[in-house]
Amino acid sequence: MIAEIKHNSKKYKIDLSKPIDISIPIDIQTQNVNAWYLDDPKIFPEQFDEQIISVSEGAAVNFNSIQFNPHSHITHTECVGHITKEVLSVNKNLSQFFFFAEVVTVAPESKDGDEVISKKQLQLALGNKKREAIVIRTLPNVKDKKGRRYSNTNPPYLLEEAAIYLREKGIQHLLIDLPSVDREKDEGLLLSHNAFWNTKGEIRLDATITEFIYIPNSVKDGMYFLNLMIAPFENDATPSKPILYALE
């Protein structure tokens, strides 16, 4: 199915039969992506009266429970409720799901022993483009990102200046292939989270951060149409399935 959309007075076509899924699922059959010092997620059949509720065990249905943390085990989208005392739900604050997004590829820079993404790098990647969302792919981009164990590895992160730049640029939705936009251990400062959501000013309740994506190398940098699908959890973060569509 071909759909036609307009952006800045220009018409584009998108082929809805060619989605580009940039999410990482929970998959207990392989090494699952993992961060923040938790055990792996679990998917298991429930038991009643000593019977395992699984078709393979003679039950009429499969009846699995799932134990996971969205921040640790799966592509997830979060709102400012992730860092506020007030309980805020991404499911209630995200009410639109289609955006024009720019995919950019960045090789983190070395700074004070860390690997970071700077304001200058994002300025070069975005230029004067006006987008609602940015999708950041970091280098090296290898498939083991889908099952990487990030705890105690000090992964790359965004400098506060980069998050401020994105906010001032009007980016509402930040997607990145890392476990966090902030340093793994930063004494709870969460500088980039706070800067992007503007917690010291008028808080951006409808802005989101999506972490743990994976963008295949076959996807070129440029503008795409983004469908940011989330699960209906009333929580600061929820599993999500961001889908890109190429523009023609």
Q: How many CB atoms lie within 10 A of CB 52?
A: 14
What's the CA gap between 63 and 82, in Å, rounded?
31
Contact call for residues 240 and 77 (beta carbons, < 8 A): yes
DSSP 8-state secondary structure symbol assigned to residue 147:
G
Q: Closest Cα partner for 117 from 153, 156, 174?
A: 156
What is the count of structural domains for the chain? 1
In a domain, 34, yes or no: no
Contact call for residues 3 and 228 (beta carbons, < 8 A): no
The residue range of the domain holding 21 is 2-27+70-246
Q: Can you give the length of the chain in residues?
A: 248
In a domain, 133, yes or no: yes
In a domain, 9, yes or no: yes
> In the prediction, which pLDDT does 17 show?
96
Contact call for residues 138 and 104 (beta carbons, < 8 A): no
In a domain, 221, yes or no: yes
In a domain, 52, yes or no: no
Q: Domain containing 15 — which CATH number?
A: 3.50.30.50
In a domain, 236, yes or no: yes
> In the prediction, which pLDDT does 141 show?
98
Q: How many CB atoms lie within 10 A of CB 148?
A: 21
Q: Detail the DSSP E strand segments found in 108-154.
A: 109-111, 114-117, 133-138
In a domain, 17, yes or no: yes
Query: Along the 248 residues of the chain, how does pLDDT read in single tens digits?
Result: 898 988 888 899 999 999 999 999 999 999 999 999 999 999 999 999 999 999 999 999 999 999 999 999 999 999 999 999 999 999 999 999 999 999 999 999 999 999 999 999 999 999 999 999 999 999 999 999 999 999 999 999 999 999 999 999 999 999 999 999 999 999 999 999 999 999 999 999 999 999 999 999 999 999 999 999 999 999 999 999 999 999 99
In a domain, 81, yes or no: yes
Handedness of CA 129, 9, 205, 215 (dihedral sign): negative
